[in-house]
Structure 1
Amino acid sequence: MDTNLWIRGPLGPDASARRTRVCKNVLVVVPTVAAGTRLLDVLPLVEADFRAQALFTVPHTTDVWPGLGDFVRAQGGLAVPWQQAVRHRWDLVLAASHRHLPDLDGPILLLPHGAGAAMSRRYSRKAGGAQVPTTGLDRELLTYRGRALPAALALPHEDELSLLGRLCPEALDRAEVTGDICLDRMRASLPFRHQYRQALGVPDDELLVTVSSTWSPDSLFGRLPRLCRALLDEFAHVALVLHPQVWTVHGRRQIAAWLSDCPGLRLIPPDEGWRATMIAADWVIGDHGSTTAYAAATGRPVTLATCPDVREGSIAAVVREHAPQLRRNRGLAGQRAEAVDRAAVLQNAVLPAITSRPDAAAPALRALIYRLLGLPEPSHAPAAGAVPLPRHG
């Protein structure tokens, strides 16, 4: 083995001569910012334990996805080169993406990185011209050469068990319904709406409109890039939440240039802040992405600006069924009133579509983590904490 590949951390050659504590090693796999941010919700359930050590890795090189290395470094955790990560036996691997799982050695806890383990789009955006529908719970994603990849599969909803049983029965005995920790954190954050609005510079008696867009040409930002400019003509306070993939593929400078005619726009960074901004919002205009669904599940008035071909029965389909559609030939103020009138009905439909275990994800996920680590759980009760104050550009 080429020891030049090994960082001088708590593992690898001569690690016993360097360690202060002997710990179970937990690897946090960050192939995308979206996956990384979801794992940062889960990591606090274990990282404060003196018996565990968390380490991060970016698959292959940071050059594959620009900015990903900066995201990992900003967390302040110990980063392990991918070449080292694939040569080590891990006590636990935390993952929120199907990518690169066959390369890793150790029990894998796989979580979804958005709303629901079964994605809303009928066809994968990553397979151009795909003709076979996919859900995210398919055999081709969860197995490798006949072997189920995750040691544990965390599902937000009971209904996903039956879907998994049809699509990949090999993984059914590894699945556990845990709820959705992202949504639980948003629900725990609702009492701090005033503080979030203050951080965004929005007075209590004024409206905040938040535009929520996933990535791809059929997203809101892909189809209606000038919507923020139109909103700023009618509303003093407008925020824009873009999927991390938009930032990664197009770059911070280009996004700022595209929005240069939107003075005063609150541009929310891709790593954190979108949840607080949704809670602070008086009206969310979104698309089929997870951020829009989460906003609806927390009671925000939502209007759909675009919603492409989504899977019947999916979370996005539920939002589409109950949320009003944006009509460009009508005044925006009146459309907000319609969204407000329908917000309660929308929430009552979307919340149970995202999770069948509201406010239960932290204890369920911690129990799963410690079972995989082979350690008894700490005595204190786990909790899904409130999200931090938002930043904006």
Structure 2
Amino acid sequence: MHRLLDVLPVFAGDERIDRAFTLVPGSDFGVDALAAVERAGARTTPWAEARRRAHDLVLMASPKGELALLRGRRVLLPHGAGFGKSVEGEGTPGTPSGLDPAFLVPDGDALLSLHALAHPSQVARLAALSPHAAARAAVVGDPTLERVLASRGRRNDYRAALGTGARHLIALASTWGPESLLRRRPALLADLAARLPYDTYQLALILHPNERSRLGELNLAERLAPALDAGMFLAGPFEEWAAVLIACDAVITDHGSAALYAAALGRPVISAYDGGGELVPGSPMADLLDRSPFLADAGGLDAALGAQRPGAVRAPADGAFAERGRALERLRAELYRLLDVPPPRRQVVPRLLPEPATPPRGVPASFAVRARVDGRTVTVERLPVGTDAPAHHLAAEAGRAPERHAMSAALLYRRVPRGPDRPAAGHGAAWTVAGWTEETLADHPGCRTAGVVLSPDHCVTRGRRGPLLSVRIEPLRSGGRVVRTDPAAVLSAVHTWLGQGEVGGGGGVPPGSAYEMTCVVGGLPFAVRLRPASAAEAAREC
């Protein structure tokens, strides 16, 4: 259904065209397809009515089902990329899904007036299976790839919406079915989330709509809970997945075609497909996986990223997509030819992908923190609580972290909300920074440091043995960019330093003086300046 929405610009502005959607009975994923149409604000025609009416044009995203009952010129649009997968139990065994004559020429009669394909090699593959079906094929390119390529300039917008910052965004792409990444290697997502430092890497999952529909949103969220709780982003099935591909720095994939779109963008691809009968030999997807390093387990990610060969993904992408930059124009010409009317004179333009609308879950509330002190430099790595890696301390956000984490944390902190967070009238009470840090240390005997994040560049913290300290974080300026880190990570560095008695010999800063240190977070060095907190800082409400 989403493929149909991607081609709507070919009819944009034409008052002669009336658009309606119908669902072919028998699909296991029909409920979600109808929901997608409803979210788009489109009109739906019941199947019985769609069968009764004659149509000038019938656009289809799949050749499966009783489509021959719809009267009108039938057009099959590009679906997926590369025709690299066969589906067991459907049609001709071993035949690429989407090119199977069992669906394209049922009972010897051609189903289609036009089979729109993305590359000349696909026409050749179809001709080898059925010359009768290939006679109705034409190369138009891939309309979905048009949107992706046209939206490349919004990469920074997508990364900002995802909260990526300077981290490396790794996308995991899972198709549907028994050989998909989610089914064959379900532990990989949680293993990566548990092993990768939060401030260095961000994970995002691109999941095929059929798999989302099979599981249901609640069941899916529960299955993915460990990775989601550790900060993984779950992309929506329409548009968001493509925005994530543009935003990401590398893709870990099974044999699903989403990785070919990443290859067309030049993104490094890492294979997590461990074999099976669904991958079609000789297809662009098979070629892409052959050229990509294999990820055997979560611990091998750095090695797999380092094994990338520049330009290795170019040839498979070139073998899957033709007519780049012209796909919508080519498709519009073919469709208006079938309608036998001239197309509008206006140029057809791909619609840019919007920013991801699904809100990220935000920063996890608890971390196991590894820390290393080298002179005035403190390096911190934050990992999910429960990781098997040795940690220096547990850091937890008060009010969000589970109580058992808060009671065990050596560092407790809170964040001052941005914007107004209290009603304009009525009763109210608020802690001051000084009051909250004192109360927190008194109520949590195991806590050694309490801190308050006042802004992206400013914190106030207090250790058990010292006074209230102001912490100023200098953004990193490099290559025309201003990069900020999570202030809570800096609080972990300050906690580590104070605990070793590095400052003033007793966990504090001498009155009237300042102390400078470097905090390395996510491999980036941030200059940090400590000094005794002012009366105004101590009195700030939090």
Which TM-score bucket, shorter chain as reference? 0.7 to 0.9
User: Structure 1 stretches of 5 or more lacking a match?
Assistant: 1-35
Q: How does 1:319-330 map to 2 (within 5 A)?
A: 319-328=288-297, 330=299
How far apart, CA to CA, are the structure 1 residues paired with 2:241 and 2:287? 21
Q: Where does residue 80 of structure 1 map in the other structure?
A: 45
User: Structure 2 stretches of 5 or more lacking a match?
Assistant: 360-542
Q: Where does residue 299 of structure 1 map in the other structure?
A: 266
AA matched with 1:158: P
Q: How does 1:1-393 map to 2 (within 5 A)?
A: 36-60=1-25, 65-99=30-64, 100-116=66-82, 119-121=83-85, 123-127=86-90, 132-135=93-96, 136-203=98-165, 205-233=166-194, 234-236=196-198, 237-262=202-227, 263=229, 264-308=231-275, 309=277, 310-328=279-297, 330-339=299-308, 342-346=309-313, 348-392=314-358
Indicate how the Cα distance of structure 1 residues 292 and 193 shifts in structure 2: closer, same or farther if over 3 A, else same: same
Aligned with 2:259: secondary structure?
Answer: helix
Indicate how the Cα distance of structure 1 residues 53 and 343 shifts in structure 2: closer, same or farther if over 3 A, else same: farther
More strand by share: 2
AA matched with 1:255: L
Aligned with 1:56: secondary structure?
Answer: coil
How far apart, CA to CA, are the structure 1 residues paired with 2:274 and 2:350? 30
Q: Where does residue 29 of structure 1 map in the other structure?
A: none
Q: Say whether the 8 Å CA contact 1:296–1:350 is kept in structure 2.
A: yes
Q: Say whether the 8 Å CA contact 2:171–2:205 is kept in structure 1.
A: yes
Indicate how the Cα distance of structure 1 residues 98 and 63 shifts in structure 2: closer, same or farther if over 3 A, else same: closer
How far apart, CA to CA, are the structure 2 residues paired with 1:284 and 1:160? 25
Q: TM-score, normalised by structure 2?
A: 0.62
Q: Where does residue 6 of structure 1 map in the other structure?
A: none
AA matched with 1:169: P
Aligned with 1:66: secondary structure?
Answer: helix
Please give the per-residue CA displacement for 1:85-119, whole angstroms capped at 9, x wherever unaligned. 01110011110101232111000111132003xx2
How far apart, CA to CA, are the structure 2 residues paired with 1:255 and 1:113? 25
Q: Say whether the 8 Å CA contact 2:29–2:213 is kept in structure 1.
A: no
Q: Say whether the 8 Å CA contact 1:120–1:316 is kept in structure 2.
A: yes
Q: How many residues align?
A: 349
Q: Say whether the 8 Å CA contact 2:24–2:67 is kept in structure 1.
A: no
* Structure 1 residue ranges (4+ consecutive) displaced by more than 4 angstroms after TM superposition: 61-64
Indicate how the Cα distance of structure 1 residues 282 and 267 shifts in structure 2: closer, same or farther if over 3 A, else same: same
Q: 1:166: Cα distance to partner?
A: 2.2
How far apart, CA to CA, are the structure 1 residues paired with 2:272 and 2:164? 24
Q: Say whether the 8 Å CA contact 1:300–1:343 is kept in structure 2.
A: no
Q: Say whether the 8 Å CA contact 1:62–1:68 is kept in structure 2.
A: no
How far apart, CA to CA, are the structure 2 residues paired with 1:275 and 1:294? 8
Q: TM-score, normalised by structure 1?
A: 0.84
Comparing both chains, which one has the higher relative contact order based on Cα–Cα distances under 8 Å and sequence gaps of 6 or more? 1
Please give the per-residue CA displacement for 1:289-321, whole angstroms capped at 9, x wherever unaligned. 011121122111110111534222102111112
Mean Cα deviation higher: 218-227 or 328-337: 328-337
How far apart, CA to CA, are the structure 1 residues paired with 2:270 and 2:329? 34
Mean Cα deviation higher: 275-284 or 134-143: 134-143
AA matched with 1:143: V
AA matched with 2:332: R
How far apart, CA to CA, are the structure 1 residues paired with 2:10 and 2:29? 30
Look at both structures and tell me which one has the larger radius of gyration over its CA atoms.
2
Q: 1:52: Cα distance to partner?
A: 0.5
Q: 1:64: Cα distance to partner?
A: 6.2
Indicate how the Cα distance of structure 1 residues 168 and 76 shifts in structure 2: closer, same or farther if over 3 A, else same: same
AA matched with 1:134: T
Q: Say whether the 8 Å CA contact 2:174–2:254 is kept in structure 1.
A: yes
AA matched with 1:125: E
AA matched with 1:292: A
Aligned with 1:284: secondary structure?
Answer: strand
Q: Where does residue 33 of structure 1 map in the other structure?
A: none
Q: 1:47: Cα distance to partner?
A: 4.2
Please give the per-residue CA displacement for 1:314-360, whole angstroms capped at 9, x wherever unaligned. 02111112111102274422322323xx25221x2122111132222
Q: Say whether the 8 Å CA contact 2:172–2:251 is kept in structure 1.
A: yes
